[in-house]
Amino acid sequence: MNSPFRKHAAYALDAAVAAFVVLGVVLVFTIGLGGEKATFLSASKFFTFQSNVLVGLCCLVCLPFDILVAIGKKNAKPALLPLLLRIGSVGTTLTFLIVICFLGPTMGYPLMFESGNLYLHLIVPLLTLVRVIFFELEAPWNKFRTTFFGIIHMVAYGVFYMVNLAIHNGYGTAAYDWYGFGAYGLGIGFLFFFGSLLLTYGISFLIYFAQKKFIAFSNKQK
C-alpha cells in the first residue's frame, strides 16, 4: 500500500505545507491585509491562524520521520503525529469551506485570498487534505471512533471564545466578539457554537470516509 512514490510524496507534502504556512504567516505580519499589518496577538485569536499553525508544526515534525520511512530507516512515525495532523486538517478544511461558501460571496474573494490569506485560506487547506487523505493510510487513527478527535480544537476554541465573551460582557464588540457570534445574545452565540461543532464533526467524518474509500481502492489495485 505504501509505494515508494507515496512515501516520497508524503515528505514532499510535509515540506510544502510547512513552507506555505510560514510564507502565509510572514505575509500577514509584514504586508498585512488591506494595508493593515497583523501582530501575533491579533492574529492568534483567529481559528484560521491557529489551525494553519498547528498543521504547519505537525508537518514540520513529521518531515524527518517521513524521510526516514521513505529511505527505509524507520517503519512508521510516532502514532501521535498523524492524529495531530488530522485534527489540524479538519480545522483548515473548515476554514476553506467557510471562505468558499460564506465569506467569499459576502466579503469578496479578492479580500479572502489577499496576501497571506491566499496560503492560509486556500493553498494550505487543500494541500493538507491531499496529505491526510492519500498519504497517511497506515495511520493508527483510521477508525470510526477517532472521528471525534477532529473536533478537539473546535471544542477548546469554542469554550474559550464563549467563556471569554461572557466574562467581559463583550457581545457584539470587536475586542471580544471578533466573529460576531454573540451579537444577538448569549443564547444565539451558543447556537453558533454548537452549529460549528456539528459542521466540524461532519468534516472530520468525511475525511475519515474519503480515506477509508481510498484505502479500499488501493487494496484492490494490489
* The predicted structure's pLDDT at residue 173: 80
**Whole-number Å distance between alpha carbons of 32 and 36:** 5
Residues of the domain holding 25: 4-220
**Whole-number Å distance between alpha carbons of 184 and 200:** 22
| pLDDT per residue as tens digits for the range 59-106 | 999 999 999 999 989 888 888 888 888 888 999 999 999 899 988 888
User: Which among 221, 64, 53 is positioned nearest to 137, based on CA atoms?
Assistant: 221
- Low-confidence residues of the chain: pLDDT under 70: 1-2, 33-36, 137-141, 221-222
Q: Are 39 and 29 in contact (CB under 8 A)?
A: yes
State the total domains in the chain. Answer: 1
